[in-house]
Amino acid sequence: MAKLDSIFHCLADPTRRAVIAQLATGASPVSELAAPHDMALPSFMKHINVLEAGGWIETQKKGRVRTCRLCSGAIETAESWLDQQRRIWERRLDQLDDFVATLDDERIQK
Amino acid sequence: MAKLDSIFHCLADPTRRAVIAQLATGASPVSELAAPHDMALPSFMKHINVLEAGGWIETQKKGRVRTCRLCSGAIETAESWLDQQRRIWERRLDQLDDFVATLDDERIQK
DNA sequence: ATCAAGCTTAGCCATTTGGCTATCTATTCG
DNA sequence: CGAATAGATAGCCAAATGGCTAAGCTTGAT
């Protein structure tokens, strides 16, 4: 899925992860989000745009303030993909265990 | 953490996600992994190297065959970061619910 | 009406990414 | 030995990324 590209691309940058982490504790205007990051505002805004395009946040402007809030879709898609891979992987490890157990049983039978 | 950059960067590409998904079902040599992807081998090898650098896979060469297998560290780190954000976010939503409930109670009291 | 605050837009730049071809090395098979 | 197989290395290239500065442009406060 092409959406996964942009969802995970958002997470591959410390500034964007920090924004997500901060927004998890509550909505915030852009300038407040930008404050902790030593970076010019246009540079920071690019990250905001990337996060919005990736479906991590949504924003709305009231007066001259743009407020950003986290939305649920992206994190669910991300976790669900990871979960699926982990399940496939763990199921296979279990099958390996069973296989080894079978070998052991056969050895005992002798 | 700088490691998270490379861990998530690995996931931001469909070829690399496909390799992870395929390796979840069992270890594989490079050429077998490469087969489904319409891409020259050196290009594909770059993805393998990125995945190895990101801690998603480890490889070992026997004779002329390099075998790749998934390792557990990366997926755990990734899921754990996501889980942590989700928990922070959900806890805050619960607090909002409580707050709204308090408001309702106060309205009823009147 | 003016001025500051809070973005926005435009355009520049270095580096990274993700692809390619061509060539080389190291194994294995006949 | 000689040829085919499986990767590895080197080097090229266009596009994307992540940063900057210098102006704009609304909106809110005085």
List the Cα angle A45/A47/A53 in 5-degree steps. 105
Q: How far is residue A65 CA from its own chain's centroid?
A: 26
pLDDT tens-digit map of B9-61: 999 999 999 999 999 999 999 999 999 999 999 999 999 999 999 999 999 99
Q: How far is residue A34 CA from its own chain's centroid?
A: 20
What proportion of chain B, given as a percentage, has pLDDT over 90? 81
DSSP strands (E only) in chain B: 28-29, 57-62, 65-70
pLDDT tens-digit map of A10-32: 999 999 999 999 999 999 999 99
Find the Å distance, CA of residue A105 to C1' of nucleotide C26: 42
Task: Report chain B residues touching chain A, CB-CB < 8 A.
Answer: 2, 4-6, 8-9, 11-14, 17, 20-21, 24-26, 70, 75, 78-79, 81-83, 85-86, 88-89, 92
B7 has pLDDT over 70: yes
B80 has pLDDT over 70: yes
Residue B107 pLDDT: 44
- For residues B28 and B18, the answer to whether their CB atoms sit within 8 Å is no
A105 has pLDDT over 70: no
Domain A2-109 has CATH 3.40.190.10: no
Residue A5 pLDDT: 97
Helix axes A2-11, A72-109, angle to 10 degrees: 100
Residue B104 pLDDT: 53
Residue B28's DSSP bridge partners are: B68
Q: For chain B, give every domain's residue range.
A: 2-109
What would the two tokens of residue A72 be? 């649920």
Q: How confident is the model at residue A72 (pLDDT cuts 50, 70, 90)?
A: very high
Selection from A83, A26, A3 nearest residue B83 by Cα: A83
Q: Backbone dihedral region of B24: left (phi > 0), alpha (psi from -120 to 50 degrees) or beta? A: alpha
What would the two tokens of residue A95 be? 């099958």
Q: How confident is the model at residue A100 (pLDDT cuts 50, 70, 90)?
A: low
Task: State how far the Cα of B78 lies from the Cα of A72, in Å rounded to an integer.
Answer: 17
* The one-letter amino acid at B70: L
Residue A108 pLDDT: 47
Selection from A77, A70, A72, A59 nearest residue A7 by Cα: A77
pLDDT tens-digit map of A35-53: 999 999 999 999 999 999 9
A91 has pLDDT over 80: yes
* Residue-averaged pLDDT of chain A: 90
Q: How confident is the model at residue B99 (pLDDT cuts 50, 70, 90)?
A: low
Find the Å distance, CA of residue B61 to C1' of nucleotide D10: 22
Residue A62's DSSP bridge partners are: A65
